Amino acid sequence: MAKISGKNIYVSFAGTSLGDTLRNVQISQSQETADATAGADSFRNYVATVKTVEVTAEAVMKDYSNGGSALRSLLSVGSEGTLIIGVEGTAAGKPKFGFLARVNQADEAVPYDDVVTVSLTWEMAGTALAFNGITSQFP
C-alpha cells in the first residue's frame, strides 16, 4: 500500500500558496461535550456540542526583497482568509481540508545564525468547513 508523503502537500491562505514556506503542518479537530448526567444516572453522560478546529504550522520567513514583507503581512495576528490544505496535493479527486480561518497566534523565532521561523496557529473564523478533509468536495 502506498503511503502519503508530505512532499505533495498544498497549503494556501487567503489565496496565497504557502507550500514553499510551511513545515510541520498539523490539523487538530475535537468534539466538545456537555455533561448531561441526571440524578438517577449511575454513570456520567455527555452529549456532543460544538466542534473545534485548529491548524498549526511553522513558516520559514523570506527576506523583504524576496516576498517577506507580503508574507509577514499575510501571516500577522488577526489576518483572515480561507485556509485550504491538500495533504496529497491539488490533483482532481484528492481530499482537501479547509475553512475560513483567522491567524490566532504568531510566534517568531530568531535563532542565532539560522533560519528565522514563525510558529502559526489558525482558528475557525466561520461556522462551517469549506472542505471536509475526506473528499475533494464541499461538505
pLDDT, tens only, 7-45:
888 999 999 999 888 989 999 999 999 999 998 999 999
Note the pLDDT tens digit of each residue in 44-62: 999 999 999 999 999 998 8
pLDDT of residue 68: 81
- pLDDT class of 93 with cuts at 50, 70, 90: confident
At residue 101, does pLDDT exceed 90? Answer: yes
Structurally, at CATH architecture level, domain 6-33+46-131 sits in Beta Barrel (2.40)
- pLDDT class of 137 with cuts at 50, 70, 90: low
pTM, 2 dp: 0.86
The whole-angstrom separation of Cα 20 and Cα 34 is 41
